[in-house]
Amino acid sequence: METLYFLIEVLIKNVVVIAVLMFFAAYLTLIERKVLARIQIRYGPNRAGPFGILQPIADGIKSFFKEEIIPENADKPLYVIAPMIVITAAISMAAVIPFGDKLVLFGREIKLVIADVDVGLLYLFAMASLGEYGVVLGGWSSGNKYGVLGSLRAAAQMISYEVSLGLAIIGVLILSGSMNLREIVNAQKEMWFIVYQPFAFILYMICAFAELNRAPFDMPEAESELACGFNIEYSSMKFALFFFAEYTHMLAVAALATTLFLGGWHGPYLPGTLWFLIKVFLIVFVFIWVRATYPRLRYDQIMKLGWKVLFPLTILNLIVTAFFVTVR
C-alpha cells in the first residue's frame, strides 16, 4: 500500500509541476513582450482579451492550425525528433529542482520536489546538454545551409560556455558539500551563497545567457545573418516547440540560480514557495531587461569572451574559494 501511495504522490507531483511550468512558460512570452514594449516606449499585445492576457492562447491556437512544411531535402526522422528532444530536455530539468520545503497532506510528509536525488546537479547539466542535441539536429536535418551554420554555432557556444558555467558553481558545491539541491538550499538558511560567491553568481548569469541562446548571445538564431538560424525551416507546432522550450529552459535556469545562490525557498514572512517564485521571476526579468538593452555580439567576440575571459575568471574564483575554505 505504501508503494501505491508513493506512486500516486509522484504522479500528482509530475502533473502539477508540468502543468504549472507550461502555464508559466506560455505566459512568459506575453510578459516578455509587455516588458520589451514598456522599455521601448510602445504598446505590447493588447487585442486578445483584456490587456492582451489571451495572447498566449491565441498564439497556441494559431500554431496548431498553421500549415506545416517539411523541406524536400530534410532528413525527416531527425527533423521531426529534434524539437521533441529540446522540449523534453527542458521540461525534464524541473524534476530535481526543489520549489519548497515540505508539506503535510492527509498525514503524509511530502517533499516539494519530484525527485530528491543526491546527484541532482549532475542530472540538470546532463539535461541541459541533451537539449543542445535537438538544436544541432534541427539545423542539420533541415537541409538548409543557414540552419547548419546556426546549429554549428550552437554547438560551439555550448562547449565554450558550459565549461565556465560548470566551474562557476563549483564554489557553491565546496561551500555546501553536496550536489543534492535540497541540501544546497538548506545550507543557505543563515546566509545566501550569493554573499560568499558574488562573482560566481555574475559569471553564472553571463554563461546562462549563452546557455539559453538569448541576446546578446543569440548566435544560433542571428536573424541578421542567418535569417532565423537553426530553426529556419520549421513551421507550425514544430517551430512553436523550439520557442516554447526556450522559455521553459529559461525558467529552469532561473530556478537553478535561485537554488544555488539566492537561498531557494528561504525568506521572511511569506510562504517558501512564494519566495521561490518571486526570486525566479526577478531573474527572468533580468534576462528580459538585458535582451532589451544590449545588442548582439559578434561570433568571434563571443568565443573570445568564453575562453579568454570567463574561463580564467571561473578558475580564479574556484581557487580563491578553495583557499578560503581551507584556511578558515
pLDDT by residue (tens digit) across 18-66? 999 999 999 999 999 999 999 999 999 998 888 899 999 999 898 888 8
Per-residue cell: 52: 492582451
Name the pTM for this structure.
0.94
Q: Which residues lie closer than 8 Å to 123 by C-beta, 6 or more apart?
A: 95, 96, 115, 117
Cα 303 to Cα 95, 220, 315, distances in angstroms: 32, 13, 17
pLDDT digits (tens, 9 = 90+) for 245-261: 999 999 999 999 999 99
Question: Which residue segment(s) compose the domain that 285 sits in?
Answer: 70-327
Residue 109 lies in a domain: yes
Residue 168 lies in a domain: yes
Residue 111 lies in a domain: yes
CB hemisphere CA count around 120 (13 angstroms): 24
Residue 25 lies in a domain: no
Q: How many structural domains is the chain composed of? A: 1
Cβ distance 66 to 74 under 8 Å? Answer: no
Residue 1's pLDDT is: 65
| Residue owning grid cell 554573499 | 195
Give residue 320's pLDDT band: very low, low, confident or very high (50, 70, 90): very high
Check residue 52 and report its DSSP letter.
Answer: G
If DSSP codes are grouped into helix, strand and coil, which group holds residue 299? Answer: helix
pLDDT digits (tens, 9 = 90+) for 133-164: 898 999 899 888 888 888 888 888 888 898 99
Residue 310 lies in a domain: yes
Residue 289's pLDDT is: 94
Q: For residue 234, is it left (φ>0), alpha (ψ between -120 and 50) or beta?
A: beta
pLDDT digits (tens, 9 = 90+) for 172-204: 999 999 999 999 999 999 899 999 999 999 999
Residue 49 lies in a domain: no
Residue 33 lies in a domain: no
Q: What is the mean pLDDT of residues 235-253?
A: 91
Residue 20 lies in a domain: no
